[in-house]
Amino acid sequence: MMKTPDWNNIEKRLIGWRRDLHRHPEASHQEHWTTRYLAEQLATLTGIEITTPAATGVVAYLRGIQPGPTIVFRADIDAVPVTEQNRCDFSSQQPGLMHACGHDAHSAMLLAAAALLSQYRQHLHGEVIFIFQRGEELSPGGAKELVDSGCLERAQMFFALHLQPNLPCGVIEVKPGIATANRDTFHIKISGQGGHSSMPHLAIDPLVTSAAVVSALQCIVAREIDPRDSAVISLCSLQCGDGSTARLPDSAQLCGTTRSFTPQVRQQIRAAMQRVCCATAEAHRCRAEIHFEPWDYSAIDNDQQLCQLAARAARNALGDHAFRVATQPMSVGEDFSEYQHIAPVCFAWLGAAHPHAENHALHSACFSPNEQALIAGVRYYLSLAIESGNLTTAIAWTG
């Protein structure tokens, strides 16, 4: 039997949800309003079981009458600490917080997918799990706690969509294999000994030492990493001194992030940074301590078969032109990689560019995705459920 969804009506509700969420951004791990909102919307859908395995975020289950696979769709729900510069009637009402990474849209698309699948539950096999995950932006992200909680043990495949403002609107792009980077966050403390700025020989200067450490760290990627691999070491902050020109400071603090695409390079960078920091500091009579945050994110490794399933799903629901294969991973970090400890995963980008306007990057205070992309995301989710064997009804994609 062919189902003909009322796409116009779905799109209207979907954009309404997205705008409600956009007005109310919340910090990572503190998404209380968002959690209540999502749970209220999900509660209106028939057959959906709503659970809250963590303090915020929702995991919802929709079970079919027939046996079949367990497929998981994951959205994230947290905002980014940035003050929105866009002016519109659904701008962020929270100074210092904004849905600048599109997680409002991710949640709205997943709500719409849940609404449609709940309508078609008499044709549903196995189980669909909808994750509205908290705390993606802040490690340890919300994915790890869900994996550790055991609530996803039945899962056989995981799919996620992320908006991409540099990709044409409604295009799905997948990178088979490694799709994002290993992300590490580090903090360095350089200890010297303060003194009179006219008598540097009686002090141990942490500022000049910091400058040497910053330069030396840049030589790791340039001179130690195989040029066929790629990596990033970015120092993002250097704090030293208090503005006084009369005194040399006692210590300096630096922090930053690294990106790599293999476990070997990740390990090599950590070891090299440790060595370079300590030896460079020692050469200048200072002492360096470097600390890497535990639980930072690993690279997403997209499963080849799930990528093929995603390709069929995108082409069927959106047309051949609306699917692309990327050849290079992105250097962003994403905790969706945690789910690959349970089952194969497929993380896809959803193009949200405006064709005739400037498209601001993710995390920009001016980020403003093309809302026409959202209905394409919902069609993709529905099509995935058909390709996976969870939904056994044909959908009228046009009309």
Output 101 or 124, the one with its CB closest to Zn ion. 101
Distance between CA atoms of 131 and 49, rounded to whole angstroms?
A: 12
**Strand segments (E) across 77-219:** 125-133, 157-164, 172-174, 177-178, 182-191, 195-196
Amino acid at the residue 98: M
Angle ∠(192,193,194) on CA atoms, nearest 5: 125
Q: How far is the CB of 368 from Zn ion (least distance, A)?
A: 15
Cis peptide before 69 (omega within 30 of 0): no
Phi, then psi, of 239 in degrees rounded to 5: -115, 125
Output 99 or 266, the one with its CB closest to Zn ion. 99
Q: How far is the CB of 52 from Zn ion (least distance, A)?
A: 21
Q: How far is the CB of 206 from Zn ion (least distance, A)?
A: 33
Q: Which residue is nearest to Zn ion (CB)?
A: 101
Q: How many CB atoms lie within 10 A of CB 336?
A: 26
Q: How far is the CB of 90 from Zn ion (least distance, A)?
A: 19
Q: How far is the CB of 255 from Zn ion (least distance, A)?
A: 18
Q: How far is the CB of 83 from Zn ion (least distance, A)?
A: 16
Output 60 or 101, the one with its CB closest to Zn ion. 101
303 in Cβ contact with 155 (< 8 Å): no
Output 84 or 387, the one with its CB closest to Zn ion. 84
- Can you say how many angstroms the Cα of residue 157 is from the centroid of all Cα atoms in its chain? 18
Residues that bind Zn ion (CB under 5 A): 101
Between the CA of residue 187 and those of 67, 210, 238, 289, 318, what are the distances in Å? 50, 13, 10, 8, 45
Q: How far is the CB of 164 from Zn ion (least distance, A)?
A: 10
Output 31 or 127, the one with its CB closest to Zn ion. 31
Q: How far is the CB of 98 from Zn ion (least distance, A)?
A: 11
Distance between CA atoms of 237 and 228, rounded to whole angstroms?
A: 29
Q: 83 is written with which tokens?
A: 């003050």
Question: Which contiguous run of DSSP H or E holds residue 181?
Answer: none
Output 48 or 160, the one with its CB closest to Zn ion. 160
159 in Cβ contact with 165 (< 8 Å): no
Structure letter (DSSP) for residue 296: P
Output 101 or 131, the one with its CB closest to Zn ion. 101
Output 340 or 364, the one with its CB closest to Zn ion. 364
